[in-house]
């Protein structure tokens, strides 16, 4: 596509940047109806203006090459004026001439290259943490420079009797106070609520050190005892801690930016009959007794009676399997059934939304409990620091009877024991680990995942969409490529807006061989469906093209097509036959073998039929004892609760997996067409390969070893610094020098550790 459009410079600009795969979304017909309405709304709101401005979210930006490509596409549009792209915020601001620019055409071109536009809404709130931290870092840097400016003269020999000394001390205390209250309060606001909930937070020792350093400095400044003045330490410490926290938050939010979409459940339905006939209401407002209709591709929100002769529904959201089935009038369609026919379907609700299975499946996943190992480490660390500080102060008080010296020893121990090096290095380690995973298309959303991965004993897969692709694979794909242009065009008209899994798979195969077909205008109203048989379309010459079962609309009777899933006919004559099979994800065998070598069980919990699940299990050499078929959503959750309550990683892709997600301690999901679990997952991954799952555990082990080395180095530094404090020789200047030096040294150690492990990772036989 880039070559055909003359955009090959994209590869030159992106350089060596590793981009996540765009997957099948470039083959999908995006729902862009809102685009035209958004353009009309923007032009009406700025009525009379010669230039229209509007902002949108954009999904898929990964590097500077993406920015160049989007700008290049925009420059080719008629009526364009200006474009501004904020890559860090994934935001797009456009300016165009009214009635000359087509926002729909621009969005369609972006969609075909893997970029998706959406309305700017809740994404702004998601960036509040990094925005707040960036503002605090700027202020902390300003306060730090000014604190050092007025503190440094005293270190360089300025006498206390110098006439500017009191003013310098006052200004140093002022800027350090501003740093403490304006910027350092970030850590205290997080530590205090955690204590109230009886949870120890990493911000607690940081807050203790800050309070001790500031309180001692204030007392030393007022009393004139300079050995207690740590104002420069306070400002430096606040700045470095905020910087480390920003690195951590930025890494997570950058991962969020690769998946802008937010799933909020079924869309609206149209009421039938009564005073509100034809009105559109949210699916959450459906009540028992309501008659309503849903559009093709939409989701039935509640259990309801079918009001028409026949319907084609998929239970993908309930069983996890996309194969559709035919339903008749009077049958009760469950909540979550998907309308995969080409016509609007009518229902009468048997229940309200609040009582439906779908409402239960879409409940948010509970937050993971705090890591007990980290809680114990923090508990013993804080207790040890306080005990050493108080013991040292008591010893000096009993030995010399000097209360100020005893106070200095106590405060100096609390100050130098602050986890400064860890506060910088741990977020840095997370950033490197997250970056390595991003290169294989896996994105971390929950920073607590690292401790959760250590406890995994079983990896639980749903089948369709996780171990296999969500669409069947066309076995004779070369047939599509070899078709004549007229047949390709007819086949595209039949499958372009069709929600049947086989039609979606055919559409992808068509566009993969002839990308220009995506520019054809399609009219779903011209495609006529016979439920359970197939679809038909008349071309301009009144030729009837059909796609359906081998015997449907046949004027011949060849025997070699009886095993075909569907056939394409022109006026009843056979044109092509298509054969499909379940498509196992790439690297699935190697991934399961890796888990087996790591003594982790691999389990399949699927809603599909037993024979199909067992066939996949046998292909992947998974024992029968680790396979459960025809599972309901609660069955999956019950199995995890009984067999791996505190040690399951759940890989799912649909609403039917959401209850099991709540039971698992770690959750992941592939990004597929109808996946809705990204919001509650700890990580998500793109592409058709499973190779990122072993890489996740490898990187986690690498990070764990590296942090262990960093922790040992930090303990050794703290031990040395505490000894200096207890001997009474710790000076505020020495503390101010040791803190950044130790942070740089330990940060360098972390870099070296990752470099060594990176060399080892290239030798892996799994990845």
| pLDDT per residue as tens digits for the range 602-637 | 999 988 888 889 999 999 999 999 999 988 888 999
Each residue's pLDDT tens digit, 318-327: 666 667 888 9
Could you please report the per-residue DSSP string of 235-297? HHHHHHHHHHHHHHHHHHHHHHHT------SS--EEE-SSTTTT-EE-GGG--TT-EEEE-TT
Percentage of the chain with pLDDT > 70? 87
How far is 280 from 270, CA to CA, in rounded Å?
4
Q: Tell me, what's the pLDDT at 567?
A: 92
Per-residue pLDDT averaged across 119-144, rounded?
Answer: 73
Beta bridge partners of 310: 328
> pLDDT-based confidence at 763, cuts 50/70/90?
very low
**Is the Cβ–Cβ distance between 733 and 155 less than 8 Å?**
yes
Sequence-distant (6+) residues with CB within 8 A of 542 are: none
The total number of residues written for the chain in this structure? 767
Measured torsion, CA atoms of residues 605, 609, 614, 616, in degrees rounded to the nearest 10: -80
Distance CA 695, CA 298 (A): 36
Q: Give the C-alpha distances (Å, rounded to integers) separating 248 from 136, 241, 451, 602.
A: 15, 11, 16, 32
Q: Which two tokens stand for residue 303?
A: 């259990």
Instruction: For the full predicted model, state whether its pTM sits above 0.85.
Output: no
Do 622 and 654 contact (CB within 8 A), yes or no? Answer: no
Which range, 47-51, 530-534, 738-742, has the best average confidence (pLDDT)?
530-534
Higher pLDDT: 151 or 544? It is 544
pLDDT surpassing 80 at residue 747: no
pLDDT of residue 667: 92
Whether 141 shows a pLDDT value over 70: the answer reads yes
Token pair for 680: 């509650």
- Model confidence at 422, pLDDT cuts 50, 70, 90, reads low
Query: pLDDT confidence of 23, banded at 50, 70, 90?
Result: low
| pLDDT at site 569 | 93
pLDDT at 330: 92
Question: How many Å apart are CA 747 and CA 598, to the nearest integer?
Answer: 30
CA distance 570 to 548: 12
Residue 263 in this model has a pLDDT that exceeds 60: no
The region of weakest confidence among 44-58, 72-86, 132-146, 358-372 is 358-372
Name the band, by pLDDT with cuts 50, 70 and 90, for residue 756: very low
Strands 648-651 and 666-670: parallel
Helix boundaries (H) for 439-484:
449-453, 477-482
**Among the listed ranges 421-430, 516-525, 709-718, which one has the minimum average pLDDT value?**
421-430
User: Residue 580 in contact with residue 473, Cβ under 8 Å?
Assistant: yes
**pLDDT exceeds 80 at position 98:** yes
pLDDT at residue 757, rounded to an integer = 47
Q: Which helix (H) or strand (E) holds 731?
A: none
Packing angle between helix 732-761 and helix 420-438, nearest 10 degrees?
20
- Residue 51: CA atoms inside 13 Å, Cβ hemisphere, count? 8
Q: What is the mean pLDDT of residues 220-240?
A: 84
Whether 176 has a pLDDT exceeding 60, the answer reads: yes
HEC-encoded secondary structure of 164-177: CHHHHHHHHHHHHH
User: What pLDDT, on the 0 to 100 scale, is given for residue 599?
Assistant: 93
Three-state SS at 442: strand
pLDDT at 460: 95
Q: Which of the four pLDDT bands, split at 50, 70 and 90, describes residue 506?
A: very high
Provide the pLDDT confidence category of residue 431 given band limits of 50, 70 and 90.
confident
pLDDT tens readout for residues 583-605 = 899 999 999 999 999 999 999 99
- Give the pLDDT mean for 197-212: 78
> Angle CA(672)–CA(674)–CA(680) in degrees, nearest 5?
80
Task: Provide mean pLDDT across the span 670-684.
Answer: 75
Q: Please give the pLDDT value at position 258.
A: 60
Q: Which residues contact 110 (CB under 8 A, 6 or more apart)?
A: 58, 70, 73, 116, 117
531 contact partners, CB below 8 Å, separation of at least 6: 310, 311, 312, 326, 341
Q: Which of 51-55, 401-405, 415-419 has the lowest mean pLDDT?
A: 415-419
112-121, 220-229, 262-271, 744-753, range with greatest mean pLDDT: 220-229
Confidence of residue 265 (pLDDT cuts 50, 70, 90): low
Residue 545, pLDDT > 80, answer: yes
Q: Considering only residues 505 and 28, tell me which one the structure prediction assigns the higher pLDDT.
A: 505
Q: What percent of the chain is predicted at pLDDT more than 90?
A: 24
In the structure encoding, which two tokens stand for residue 553, read together? 């609309």
Per-residue confidence (pLDDT) for residue 546, from 0 to 100: 95
List Cβ neighbours of 605 (8 Å cut-off, separation of 6 or more).
Answer: 460, 461, 462, 628, 631, 635, 636, 639, 660
Burial of residue 626 (CB within 10 Å: 0-12, 13-18, 19+) is middle
What does the mean pLDDT of the chain come to? 83
Tokens (6 digits) for 269: 């339905």
More confident residue, 303 or 5: 303
């Amino acid at each position: 596509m880039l070559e055909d459009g003359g955009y090959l410079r994209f590869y030159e600009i992106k350089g060596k940047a590793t981009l996540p795969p765009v997957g099948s979304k470039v083959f999908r017909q995006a729902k862009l109806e809102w685009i035209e309405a958004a353009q009309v709304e923007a032009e009406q709101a700025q009525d009379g203006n010669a230039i229209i401005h509007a902002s949108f979210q954009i999904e898929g930006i990964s590097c500077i090459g993406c920015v160049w490509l989007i700008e290049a596409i925009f420059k080719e549009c008629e009526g364009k004026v200006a474009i501004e792209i904020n890559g860090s915020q994934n935001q797009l601001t456009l300016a165009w001439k009214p009635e000359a620019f087509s926002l729909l055409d621009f969005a369609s071109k972006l969609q075909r290259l893997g970029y998706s536009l959406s309305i700017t809404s809740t994404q702004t709130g998601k960036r509040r943490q990094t925005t707040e931290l960036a503002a605090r870092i700027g202020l902390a840097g300003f306060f730090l420079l000014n604190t050092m400016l007025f503190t440094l003269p005293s270190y360089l020999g300025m006498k206390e009797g110098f006439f500017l000394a009191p003013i310098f001390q006052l200004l140093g205390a002022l800027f350090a106070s501003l740093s403490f209250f304006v910027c350092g309060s970030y850590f205290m606001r997080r530590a205090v609520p955690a204590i109230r909930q009886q949870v120890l937070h990493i911000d607690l020792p940081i807050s203790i050190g800050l309070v001790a350093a500031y309180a001692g400095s204030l007392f030393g400044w007022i009393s004139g005892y300079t050995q207690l003045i740590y104002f420069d330490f306070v400002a430096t410490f606040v700045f470095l801690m905020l910087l480390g926290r920003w690195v951590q938050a930025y890494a997570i939010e950058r991962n969020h930016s690769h998946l802008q979409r937010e799933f909020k459940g079924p869309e609206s339905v149209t009421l039938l009959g009564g005073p509100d006939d034809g009105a559109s209401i949210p699916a959450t407002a459906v009540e028992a007794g309501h008659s309503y209709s849903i559009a093709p591709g939409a989701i039935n929100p509640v259990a309801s009676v079918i009001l028409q002769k026949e319907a084609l529904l998929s239970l993908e959201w309930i069983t996890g399997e996309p194969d559709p089935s035919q339903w008749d009038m009077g049958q009760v369609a469950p909540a979550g059934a998907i309308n995969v026919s080409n016509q609007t379907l009518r229902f009468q609700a048997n229940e309200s939304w609040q009582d439906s299975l779908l409402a239960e499946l879409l409940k948010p996943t509970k937050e993971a409990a705090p890591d007990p190992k980290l809680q114990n480490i923090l508990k013993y660390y804080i207790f040890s620091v306080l005990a050493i500080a108080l013991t040292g102060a008591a010893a000096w008080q009993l030995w010399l009877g000097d209360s100020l010296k005893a106070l200095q020893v106590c405060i100096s121990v609390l100050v130098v024991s602050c986890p400064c090096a860890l506060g910088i290095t741990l977020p840095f380690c997370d950033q490197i680990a997250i970056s390595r995973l991003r290169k294989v298309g896996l994105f971390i959303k929950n920073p607590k995942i690292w401790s959760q991965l250590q406890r995994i004993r079983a990896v639980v897969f749903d089948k369709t969409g996780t171990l296999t692709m969500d669409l069947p694979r066309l076995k004779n794909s070369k047939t599509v490529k070899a078709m004549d242009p007229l047949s390709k065009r007819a086949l595209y008209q039949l499958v372009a807006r069709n929600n049947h899994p086989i039609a979606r798979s055919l559409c992808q195969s068509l566009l993969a061989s002839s990308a220009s077909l995506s520019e054809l205008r399609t009219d779903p109203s011209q495609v006529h469906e016979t439920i359970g048989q197939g679809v038909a379309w008349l071309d301009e010459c009144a030729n009837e093209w059909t796609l359906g079962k081998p015997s449907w609309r046949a004027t011949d009777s060849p025997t070699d097509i009886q095993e075909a899933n569907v056939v394409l006919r022109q006026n009843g004559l056979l044109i092509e036959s298509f054969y499909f099979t379940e498509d196992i994800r790439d690297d699935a065998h190697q991934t399961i073998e890796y888990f087996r070598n790591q003594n982790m069980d691999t389990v399949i919990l699927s809603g599909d039929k037993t024979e199909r699940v067992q066939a996949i299990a046998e292909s992947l050499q998974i024992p029968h004892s680790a396979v459960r078929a025809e599972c309901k959503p609660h069955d999956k959750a019950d199995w995890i609760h009984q067999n791996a309550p505190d040690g399951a990683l759940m890989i799912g892709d649909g609403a039917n997996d959401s209850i099991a997600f709540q039971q698992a301690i770690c959750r992941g999901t592939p990004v597929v067409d109808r996946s809705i679990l990204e919001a509650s997952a700890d990580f998500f991954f793109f592409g058709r390969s499973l190779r990122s799952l072993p890489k996740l555990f490898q990187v986690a082990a690498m990070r764990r070893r590296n942090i262990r080395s960093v922790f040992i180095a930090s303990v050794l530094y703290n031990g040395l610094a505490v000894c200096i404090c207890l001997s009474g020789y710790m000076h505020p200047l020495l503390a101010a020098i040791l803190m950044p030096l130790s942070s740089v040294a330990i940060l360098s150690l972390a870099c070296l550790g990752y470099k060594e492990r990176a060399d080892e990772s290239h030798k892996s036989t799994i990845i």
